[in-house]
Amino acid sequence: MIVYKTEEEIELIRASAKVLAQAHGEVAGMIREGVTTRELDKRAEEFIRDHGGQPSFKGYNDFPYSLCISPNSVVVHGFPGDHTLKSGDIISVDAGVLLNGYHSDSAYTYPVGEVNLEVLQLLEETKKSLYLGIEKAVAGNRMGDVGYAIQNHVEKQGYGVVRELVGHGIGKKLHERPEVPNYGKRGSGLKLQTGLVLAIEPMVNLGKKDVVQEKDGWTIRTKDYKPSAHFEHTVVVRKDKAEILTSFEYIEKALQ
């Protein structure tokens, strides 16, 4: 069953998404060499709880942390811990907030210190593909239009787009129907309607598209150990233009 949201519900998701965007800004302000991913997780959890929310991921299918932190060849679902950020790393930070009964979900990938140009371009183009996908998330289009826009852009750059993990509907549950693949055929799939709230989240590999799961049962990394980027927004489908409910505004301010 697909749950279309009322304007009242969208307001609640917007409030959740605001706390999430600010929590990302807090984390962004800490990204530097020498910081451990555990410190980032701790700060994000404190911030979310201080603002009346709960970290959506903590306890979700027994996931033990508030953030998924995925360095370099880790695509998604990495555990925060002793990994110390060092120059040349990229680090994906994925977070969710539950506030007043509604979830929001967003991710950003950071360069740490001096990162080689090829990898910086991967970050830029993955972020661009997110916005190209969002542009297609308008009423009357099909889900395949969103996936096609993302896939077409990143494959043109020679990147691999992950198939095994996809975006999703979001609302009272963190993961709702429908799935939002980052690949697809134009004009195929579910017809998008106003009030559909989606987490759109391209996961893009510098090398091949193939991924493997580590023995911890969570961490997903690229099979060829090349770096991977992940950007995500929570958006609502509307008539002429999707509305982005999460924001990178606080992140970008902190990075200036």
- Binding residues for Mg ion (CB under 5 A): 94, 105, 107, 199, 201, 232
**Smallest distance, Mg ion to C-beta of residue 98, A:** 13
Question: Given the complex with Mg ion, which of 18 and 256 has the nearer CB atom?
Answer: 18
H-type alpha helices, the chain = 7-28, 37-50, 117-135, 143-156, 249-255
**Smallest distance, Mg ion to C-beta of residue 255, A:** 19
Question: Given the complex with Mg ion, which of 89 and 105 has the nearer CB atom?
Answer: 105
Question: From the CA atom positions of the chain, what is the Rg in Å?
Answer: 17
Rounded to 5 degrees, what are φ and ψ at 85? -65, 135
Question: Given the complex with Mg ion, which of 132 and 197 has the nearer CB atom?
Answer: 197
Q: How far apart are CA 140 and CA 187, in angstroms?
A: 10
Among 95, 78, 41, CA closest to 221:
78
**Smallest distance, Mg ion to C-beta of residue 180, A:** 9
Question: Given the complex with Mg ion, which of 10 and 76 has the nearer CB atom?
Answer: 76
**Smallest distance, Mg ion to C-beta of residue 24, A:** 11
Question: Given the complex with Mg ion, which of 73 and 234 has the nearer CB atom?
Answer: 234
Count of beta carbons in the 10 Å neighbourhood of residue 163: 14
**Smallest distance, Mg ion to C-beta of residue 34, A:** 26
Measuring CA to CA, how many Å separate 123 from each of 17, 36, 56, 82, 153? 22, 21, 25, 24, 13
Q: How far apart are CA 124 and CA 222, in angstroms?
A: 19
Question: Given the complex with Mg ion, which of 78 and 118 has the nearer CB atom?
Answer: 78
**Three-state secondary-structure class, residue 132:** helix
**Smallest distance, Mg ion to C-beta of residue 114, A:** 27
Count of beta carbons in the 10 Å neighbourhood of residue 253: 11
**Three-state secondary-structure class, residue 69:** strand
